[in-house]
Structure 1
Amino acid sequence: MGEDHVGDPEDVRAVLAAEDRRYQAMLDADLATLDASCAAELSYAHSSGARDTKDQYLEKVRSGYYVYRRIDHPVERVAVVGDSALVVGRMTADLDVDGRPRTIDNLALAVWTRASGGWQLLAYAPTPLPA
């Protein structure tokens, strides 16, 4: 575990596990796990500048608008503050967006909230890196 992680080590581990589960569910188009991983109030931004609610995002994965082929998500820092957690890192991926192949390379900020039985994603914000 990196020195940069802040907060109870058990919470940090749980948030990292939730982050891994979410990315695996994106690859698998596992809507049940994605649904459980995301808070009802989710704000999910994309590197294109689009922003989705939870329902909009799940529908785009369900319909095949987003098809994830490969995702790498190295984490630089986790900070657990009260019932919130920030995950700072990077997200690179190969995916199809509306049938067109794309490769993305983003800085990534994920905000998680403590929910009954675990952690849920509250917000996701990528920052595209210059090509």
Structure 2
Amino acid sequence: MDNATAAEKDKIVALEEKRYQAVVDGDYDAFEDLCHQRLVYTHSLGDRDTLSSYLEKLRKGYYRYHRIDHPIEDIVLIGDTALVLGQMNADLTVNGTHKTLANSALSVWIKEGETWKFLAYQPTPRKAAPAAA
């Protein structure tokens, strides 16, 4: 991997950290600043939000994130697009109900000029580990 690619991947890692921390901290303006205006945010059960509908739910407390762990397994750069493959493990409240998530996740970032913007998110629930015999 060349230095330019490594530097871009480092930027994406930092941006992923910022976006997750922003929703945990309730800093929805910071989250919005990271997002592309055409964001497609898919949830674990398959429902989707636009940037405006997701922000409205966050700001009204429909979603309240308490903890998010997000190990990154790989970042694939193709032109001005970055695919972030990893996990999203979280404790949150959804419309008043506590939930714990264990998802594989794909985040998509696109570069506009010199700025990376969060364009899409797709989680997939992971199967629970089999119980020990």
Does the TM-score normalized on the shorter chain lie above 0.5?
yes
Report percent identity of matched pairs: 46
Aligned counterparts of 1:18 and 1:77: Cα–Cα separation in 2: 15
Structure 1 stretches (4+) deviating beyond 3 angstroms? Answer: none
In 2, are the aligned partners of 1:68 and 1:94 still within 8 Å (CA)?
yes
Alignment partner of 2:94 out of 93, 97, 113: 97
Deviations 1:23-70 (A, max 9, x none): 000101111111111100100000021100000111111000000001
Any stretches of 5+ residues in structure 2 without a counterpart?
129-133
Q: How far apart are 1:118 and its partner, in Å?
A: 2.2
Of structures 1 and 2, the larger Rg is shown by 2
- Aligned pair partner of 1:68 in 65, 68, 72: 65
Q: Aligned residue pairs: how many? A: 126
Deviations 1:57-106, CA, capped at 9 Å, x for gaps: 11111000000001000000001111110000000000000011000100
After TM superposition, the structure 1 = structure 2 runs for residues 1-131 of structure 1, keeping only pairs within 5 Å, are 8-131=5-128
Compute the TM-score of the two structures, normalised by the length of structure 2: 0.90
Distance of 2:14 and 2:44 partners within structure 1: 24
What value does the CA root-mean-square deviation take over the aligned residues?
Answer: 1.3
Residue ranges of structure 1 left out of the alignment (5+ in a row): none
